[in-house]
A = this chain, B = another copy of it.
């Protein structure tokens, strides 16, 4: 159903590329960025999007230090305060450059407020590298045409921008009960994800996609948004062109905190990203 789209490669003109652009400022460890409301929920930029912005600044800094390590093999961040849509800055400190990998710290600030701090391992993903061991098959989904686009509105949430203009998320119909007030009771959400403007996925985009599904706890009836405390994403391969399949599930809820796990497969059936996050969750009181 997407035959009218050009199979594009990142050109720098697609919205994700513009929204993650970093402009060096000063001595080259500071970058200006402009956070795009198309990658936000309720005015709060998506955590995975912020990690992609920071990864671009890290890739620039590591490259300037002479390392050929453009890809974020690992990215882990703590979220201190949600930034607003609009101007922000990223400060990078390269911790080490090596032969196969380099490490760096990145801090996202707005004014003098630290919003996110992250640690990155950068490397170069070889698209031809064989899979030596993989113990699971990709998540099973109905075809894209059989999965409804994610509802634009969610319980208790008003969107200042329409994220579906930027990212097409088609959820497995078995897990969209939350949208009609009848959650399935399974904390396991899955769907197809692609950029609306035809931009193909790459390692940077995987940092965003690994955090783009609605919280799996929506299917348990959780209330309101689920703010991320910590998010760690491993990019395991350079994705083939085409839509991505994403599964996100919760493992344990206790003391108002949930962990969510996420896996992303490309159109060649390869696991290309995996993530874990710790988030605050507000569950309804148990019924008597």
Question: CA A232 – CA B249 in complex, angstroms?
Answer: 18
The listed residue (B74, B130, B230) touching A254 by CB distance below 8 A is: B130
Is B278 within 8 A of A121, CB to CB?
Answer: yes
Is B276 within 8 A of A276, CB to CB?
Answer: yes
Is B119 within 8 A of A73, CB to CB?
Answer: no
Is B136 within 8 A of A251, CB to CB?
Answer: yes
Tell me, rounded to whole Å, the shortest Cβ–Cβ distance linking A34 to chain B. 24
Tell me whether A288 is interfacial, beta carbon within 8 Å: no
Tell me, rounded to whole Å, the shortest Cβ–Cβ distance linking A169 to chain B. 23
Q: A103-B80, A105-B117, A220-B133 are in contact. Are A251 and B229 (CB under 8 A)?
A: no
Question: CA A120 – CA B278 in complex, angstroms?
Answer: 12
Tell me whether A141 is interfacial, beta carbon within 8 Å: no
Q: A130-B254, A234-B259, A255-B129 are in contact. Are A74 and B119 (CB under 8 A)?
A: no
Is A229 within 8 A of B73, CB to CB?
Answer: yes
Residues in B with CB closer than 8 Å to A96 are: 80-81, 114
Given contact pairs A135-B251, A230-B234, a sample of 7 additional A-B residue pairs in the complex whose CB atoms are under 8 Å apart? A74-B278, A78-B103, A80-B103, A100-B256, A105-B105, A133-B220, A133-B252
Instruction: Please name 14 pairs of A and B residues whose Cβ atoms are closer than 8 Å in the assembled complex, sorted by A.
Output: A73-B229, A74-B230, A76-B119, A76-B230, A78-B121, A80-B96, A95-B114, A132-B283, A133-B187, A133-B217, A133-B253, A134-B254, A252-B271, A276-B276
